[in-house]
């Protein structure tokens, strides 16, 4: 392995987390017209963490590369990542195609090979499809260690990482040598605002567009979405007048 | 068509966001924070009657009797007549905890005709009345001074209709502004007014105070967007102009009388208002600047370069940011790499752009920001990257009002001044308070914590907030009429948008001529000859 850390951060452009998504007319996906898109919040945290790791380990980190797989508009989220301190970036322009996690992982493997990355920091899930699989599949394809749902990351001088994860009633700490995949949870850090001077400088940083056809991969989707429905609205509760009535209602519903 | 609106619509949790909120992203609303602070304060608010002994109860007004109560109950029902002293407290005390009245009864009618019956009765029996909306008045207008009857419109809370083609919303006056806003959002429209109190204030209250708020720059004043009103006059007459005509030049434009009337002419019960199409793309930039002159220069440039997409231009001094930072506990958006503090820039600006084409709007905003950064008009800044950041940036402006009361209370001055001189009022007031030994941020034995300034640059409107630890007479005497004299000397207005209420009743002559004051008095006398509507205030 190389004597320096080369970080790769995959980021996805998704429907803004603060908006209420609507099912499209065809009932096979979410309406994307006239909707605001932003960086997947977990990926934002991944970018922040990569930059933080470099800051805390000045001599260890050689480069940070961000990659997005998406439409050409995903350049926006890459620019933001560059402004935050990422050095170089690439966009795998798949247009409006929604790739499945396996296809995404295959592409990321290619990018890892090209970049010679030995640390991949990525979101634990994208909030649009909530699949939560790409990190794990990529670890499988690469045969690397994985530390998922990180709430704290420490990189040691001997190229090992200690990663904490919140579990029921406590914290689980795992240690692994690089190369390694870390997926981020919300409490890992709070992304900062990007200042304008940094945004302006980011315009000059490299952003390479990659044609997925040139990667020589089978990216065919294997799943078919049959139909997408809103969850049924919950029935409103009722008010009871007395304890007796409460008990009899609960009995009626076989709750007691 | 009629829609019952929930008391507060806050928790429409988007499904996609669930993954996040489960893990508790900082989504806590401003309002929960604010109530937390307000309940902290254990100090009871002194009675207005004690604080201002010169103001005497008008002996012409009758005292409430059991017969009156029985009549009220027969009109609105037992439950809508509040007489329990614990329940009355919230209606007697104002938002700033500065004024406290002694009303013994609050009425909560459910229809215009009930209000008509009630007012007619009060007028005949000489019972003084205070119309109340969300009780967020900042001039003591919404609470009684003595034992006036409070009539709350809280139960008139239905959207009556919305016409998607024309954008005309008809609604009861007791609809909470934020609920009106969420309703309109569902229909691709926007309420032409937005302000920090939106979770509590009513659209009727907004019209009664002619509220200005954060979007006036873009959508103009309520005098333009309100198309018609329904209101009950003191004698019970129902005035109804709830039509949807944008053009109607037949006779005096009577609805205008009620816009900004602050409950002195009658009770507004219904509103017909023109709502613009909801902008599809909104973005916010937050900037740090080296001087007030640069704030003005940035505004000039924003108007020229951003042109039709500019929808808000708000400025804040550093002190106001320090208050907001303490209140919200958030890291400042322009904080340095290694800390969370408010940076040293003396001024901050929030610019909102909204339009219909994101690429076009973003490009425009970007080139504007580049040009003001390049020639150093602006020292630093940031742009929101997503909806959550956009809301966070707005919080640094919107939370100031609530943060200003953090130490105990606030003297609010809301003035219009010519832009070049606008900010110097804050400096001269701070200086004066220091000279008198009344102000110190650190020394908690001083009554004043700080004098902060912020506001709607776009409208020439400054909010001067003197944040106090207690409402001391000597502070009030140091401020009034000093502030009003300064404003008059610069030919400004002593009340740009908050109104006159109780606080400024005796200072109206600083902004209005004797002729104007007489005309106002004549109108009041004509429509409310017995003077029962919101007495001791306004004029
Ligand atoms: C945090 C905060 C931020 C604010 N920001 C702004 C701002 O940016 N711009 C601005 O202009 N104002 C602002 N205000 C003050 C503003 O005047 C009120 O928030 C709002 O317009 C009042 O609405 P309300 O329903 O609370 O009315 P209330 O406070 O209940 O009443 C205000 C006055 O109107 C009368 N009134 C109320 N309802 C009726 C009715 N139906 N018929 C007749 N008279 C009625 C009352 O008698 C009283 O005189 C702010 C207040 C707060 C607390």
- One domain for residues B368 and B395: yes
Triad A43, A77, A55: Cα angle to 5°: 60
Q: Which residues pair with B474 in a beta bridge?
A: none
Spell out the domain ranges in chain A.
5-252
Q: Residue B42's pLDDT is what?
A: 44
CA distance B38 to B84: 22
- One domain for residues B264 and B315: no
- Considering the domain boundaries, does residue B465 fall inside one? yes
Mutate to test the interface with B, among A18, A149, A166, A167 (most CBs of B within 10 A): A18
Here the ipTM equals: 0.83
Cis peptide before A179 (omega within 30 of 0): yes
Task: Give the range of the structural domain holding residue B436, as residue numbers without chain letter.
Answer: 407-503
Counting the structural domains of chain B, the total is 3
- One domain for residues B324 and B385: yes
Burial grade of B173 (CB within 10 A; 0-12, 13-18, 19 or more): buried
Largest alpha-carbon pair distance within chain A? 73
By Cβ distance, the residue of A14, A41, A196 closest to B373 is A196
Q: CA Rg, chain A, in Å?
A: 22
The CATH code of the domain that includes B429 is 3.30.70.2740
- Chunk chain A into consecutive blocks of 10 residues (it has 256) and report each block's average pLDDT, rounded to whole numbers: 85 92 85 89 97 92 97 96 97 94 97 97 93 96 97 94 95 96 96 93 95 94 87 84 90 86
Q: Residue B22's pLDDT is what?
A: 30
Helix residue ranges, H only, B150-246: 177-186, 203-208, 216-219, 222-225
Which secondary-structure segment (H or E) carries B23? Answer: none
- Determine the residue of B109, B122, B195 to mutate for testing ligand 1's pocket, defined as the one with the most ligand atoms within 8 A of the Cβ atom: B195
Which secondary-structure segment (H or E) carries B476? Answer: helix B473-479
Answer CATH for A5-252 from 3.90.550.10, 3.40.50.620, 3.40.50.300, 3.40.50.1100: 3.40.50.620
* pLDDT class of B539 with cuts at 50, 70, 90: confident
Q: Which residues contact B252 (CB under 8 A, 6 or more apart)?
A: none
Sheet containing strand B168-172, edge to edge, reads B3-4, B158-163, B168-172, B267-274, B226-232, B238-240
Q: What pLDDT digit, counting tens, does each position of B179-211 carry?
A: 999 999 999 999 999 998 999 999 999 999 999
Q: Residue B32's pLDDT is what?
A: 35
Question: Which residue ranges have their beta carbon within 6 Å of ligand 1?
Answer: B 95, 130-138, 141-142, 153, 173, 195-197, 201-202, 204-206, 208-209, 211-213, 262-263, 267-268, 401-402, 497-498, 501, 534
- One domain for residues B175 and B250: yes
User: How many other CB atoms sit within 10 Å of the CB of residue A169?
Assistant: 5
Decide if A193 and B334 are in contact by the 8 Å CB cutoff: yes
Indicate if the pLDDT at residue B24 is higher than 60. no
User: How many other CB atoms sit within 10 Å of the CB of residue A147?
Assistant: 23
Q: CA Rg, chain B, in Å?
A: 23
- Considering the domain boundaries, does residue B237 fall inside one? yes
Phi, psi of A41 (to 5 degrees): -55, -35
Contact in structure between B414 and B436 (CB atoms under 8 Å): no
- One domain for residues B296 and B261: no
* pLDDT class of B16 with cuts at 50, 70, 90: very low
Report pTM: 0.85
Largest alpha-carbon pair distance within chain B? 73
Mutate to test the interface with B, among A33, A195, A231, A233 (most CBs of B within 10 A): A195
- One domain for residues B262 and B297: no
Contact in structure between B162 and B170 (CB atoms under 8 Å): yes
Decide if B19 and A196 are in contact by the 8 Å CB cutoff: no
Q: Residue B37 corresponds to which tokens in the numbers above?
A: 């602070």
Contact in structure between B448 and B465 (CB atoms under 8 Å): no
Decide if B17 and A127 are in contact by the 8 Å CB cutoff: yes
Contact in structure between B231 and B528 (CB atoms under 8 Å): no
Dihedral in degrees, nearest 10, Cα atoms A15, A100, A129, B22: -110
Contacts of B23 in chain A (CB under 8 A): 185-187
Interface of B with A in 4-23 (CB under 8 A): 12, 14-17, 19-20, 23
Contacts of A16 in chain B (CB under 8 A): 386-388
- Determine the residue of B29, B107, B118, B142 to mutate for testing ligand 1's pocket, defined as the one with the most ligand atoms within 8 A of the Cβ atom: B142
Nearest CA to ligand 1 atom 53: B136
């Amino acid at each position: 392995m190389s004597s320096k850390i080369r970080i790769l951060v995959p980021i996805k452009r998704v429907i803004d987390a603060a908006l209420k998504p609507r099912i499209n007319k065809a009932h096979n996906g979410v309406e994307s017209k006239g909707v605001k898109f932003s960086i997947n919040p977990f990926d934002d945290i991944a970018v922040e963490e990569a930059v933080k790791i470099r800051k805390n380990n000045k001599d260890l980190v050689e480069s940070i590369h961000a990659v997005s797989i998406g439409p050409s508009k995903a350049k926006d989220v890459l620019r933001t990542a560059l402004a935050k301190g990422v050095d170089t970036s690439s966009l795998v322009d798949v247009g409006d195609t929604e790739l499945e996690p396996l296809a995404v992982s295959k592409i990321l493997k290619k990018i890892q090979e090209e970049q010679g990355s030995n640390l991949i920091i990525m979101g634990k899930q994208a909030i649009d499809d909530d699949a939560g699989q790409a990190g794990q599949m990529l670890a499988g394809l690469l045969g690397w260690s994985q530390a998922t749902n990180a709430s704290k990351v420490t990189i040691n001088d001997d190229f090992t990482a200690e990663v904490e994860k919140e579990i029921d009633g406590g914290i689980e700490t795992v240690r692994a040598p690089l190369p390694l995949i870390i997926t981020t949870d919300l409490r890992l850090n709070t992304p900062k605002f990007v200042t304008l001077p940094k945004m302006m400088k980011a315009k000059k940083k490299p952003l390479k567009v990659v044609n997925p056809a040139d990667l020589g991969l089978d990216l065919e989707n294997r799943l078919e979405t049959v139909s997408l429905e809103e969850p049924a609205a919950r029935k409103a509760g009722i008010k009871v007048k007395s304890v007796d009535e409460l008990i009899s209602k609960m009995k009626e519903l076989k709750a007691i | 068509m009629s829609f019952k609106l929930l008391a507060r619509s806050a928790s429409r949790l988007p499904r996609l966001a669930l993954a996040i909120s489960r893990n508790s992203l900082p989504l806590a609303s401003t309002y929960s924070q604010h109530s937390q602070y307000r309940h902290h304060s254990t100090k009871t608010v002194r009675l207005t009657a004690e604080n201002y002994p010169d103001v005497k109860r008008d002996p012409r007004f009758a005292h409430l009797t059991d017969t009156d109560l029985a009549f009220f109950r027969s009109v609105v029902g037992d439950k809508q007549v509040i007489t329990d002293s614990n329940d009355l407290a919230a209606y007697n005390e104002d938002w700033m905890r500065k004024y406290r009245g002694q009303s013994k009864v609050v009425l909560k009618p459910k229809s215009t005709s009930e209000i008509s019956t009630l007012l007619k009765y009060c007028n005949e029996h000489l019972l003084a009345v205070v119309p109340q909306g969300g009780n967020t008045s900042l001039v003591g207008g919404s609470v009684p001074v003595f034992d006036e009857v409070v009539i709350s419109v809280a139960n008139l809370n239905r959207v009556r209709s919305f016409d998607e083609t024309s954008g005309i919303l008809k609604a009861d006056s007791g609809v909470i502004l934020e609920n009106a806003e969420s309703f309109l959002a569902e229909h691709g429209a926007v309420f032409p007014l937005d302000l920090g109190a939106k979770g509590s204030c009513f659209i009727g209250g907004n019209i009664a105070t002619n509220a200005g708020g954060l979007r006036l720059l873009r959508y103009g004043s309520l005098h333009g967007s309100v198309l018609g009103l329904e209101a009950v006059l003191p004698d019970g007459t129902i005035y109804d102009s709830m039509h949807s005509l944008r053009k109607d030049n037949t006779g005096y434009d009577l609805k205008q009388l009620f816009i900004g009337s602050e409950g002195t002419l009658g009770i507004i019960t219904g509103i017909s208002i023109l709502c613009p199409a909801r902008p599809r793309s909104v973005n916010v930039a937050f900037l740090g600047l080296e001087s007030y002159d640069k704030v003005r220069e940035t505004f000039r440039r924003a108007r020229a370069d951003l042109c039709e997409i500019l929808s808000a231009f708000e400025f804040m001094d550093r002190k106001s940011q320090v208050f907001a930072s303490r209140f919200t506990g958030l890291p400042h958006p322009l904080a340095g790499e290694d800390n969370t503090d408010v940076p040293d820039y003396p001024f901050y600006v929030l610019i909102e752009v909204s339009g219909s084409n994101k690429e076009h709007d973003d490009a425009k905003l970007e080139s504007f920001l580049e040009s003001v950064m390049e020639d150093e008009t602006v020292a630093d800044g940031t742009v929101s990257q997503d909806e959550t950041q956009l809301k966070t940036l707005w919080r640094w402006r919107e939370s100031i009002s609530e943060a200003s009361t953090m130490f105990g209370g606030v003297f609010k001055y809301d003035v219009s001044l010519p832009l070049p001189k606008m900010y110097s009022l804050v400096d001269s007031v701070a200086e004066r308070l220091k000279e008198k030994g009344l102000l110190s941020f650190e020394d908690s034995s001083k009554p004043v914590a700080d004098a902060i300034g912020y506001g709607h640059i776009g409208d020439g409107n400054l909010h001067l907030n003197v944040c106090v630890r207690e409402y001391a007479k000597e502070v009030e005497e140091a401020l009034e009429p000093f502030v009003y004299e300064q404003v008059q000397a610069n030919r400004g207005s002593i009340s740009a948008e908050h109104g006159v209420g109780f606080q400024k009743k005796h200072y109206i002559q600083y902004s209005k001529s004797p002729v104007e004051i007489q005309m106002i008095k004549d109108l009041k006398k004509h429509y409310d000859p017995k003077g029962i509507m919101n007495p001791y205030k306004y004029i």
